[in-house]
Amino acid sequence: MTIVIGCDNAAVPMKTMLIKFLESKGVTVENVGCDSAGDPANYPSVAKRACRSIIASGYKKRGILVCGTGIGMCMTANKFKGIRAAVCHDNFSAERSILSNDSNVLCMGERVIGHELAKKVVGEWITLEFKEGPSSPKVEEIIAIETENMK
């Protein structure tokens, strides 16, 4: 599994911690920035780099985006066709984002969630895969709406 990870300058400590955590689990990490609190990159430009990499992989990669709240990253990521981003600050939400909604981008907020809980959320999220079942028609409907609106 390859995870594309990015953050704005408000979330460098969490991103750095998550890179180490993911690598300790044997996950390949592609860091798309930013790497210091002094980096002026805004979260939309980081989310754009991450989403373009996921799309270029044929959606084989997943992404983790972190900013102050996770909201701005999520809003930006969901502007890209085929990206289903969710803000998750607990394990149940992370689980359902995959099992019910086939998410491929997890967003979190450095100012919202502690690092230990973030590791637990990410640890669960990376182990899950969407399976065809009762949620399939809902995901198909999301994709149909996206196709209709993103021409």
Q: Which domain holds residue 85?
A: 2-149
Instruction: Give Cβ neighbours of residue 42 (< 8 Å, ≥ 6 apart).
Output: 8
**pLDDT, mean of residues 67-96:** 98
Number of domains comprising the chain: 1
Instruction: Give Cβ neighbours of residue 145 (< 8 Å, ≥ 6 apart).
Output: none
Instruction: Give the model confidence (pLDDT) of 89-138 as tens digits.
Output: 999 999 999 999 999 999 999 999 999 999 999 999 999 999 999 999 99
Query: For position 51, which CATH number holds?
Result: 3.40.1400.10
Read off the pLDDT band of 18 (50, 70, 90).
very high
Quick one: which of 125, 51, 141, 136 has its CA closest to 93? 125
pTM assigned to the model: 0.96
pLDDT score for 151: 76
Active site residues: 67
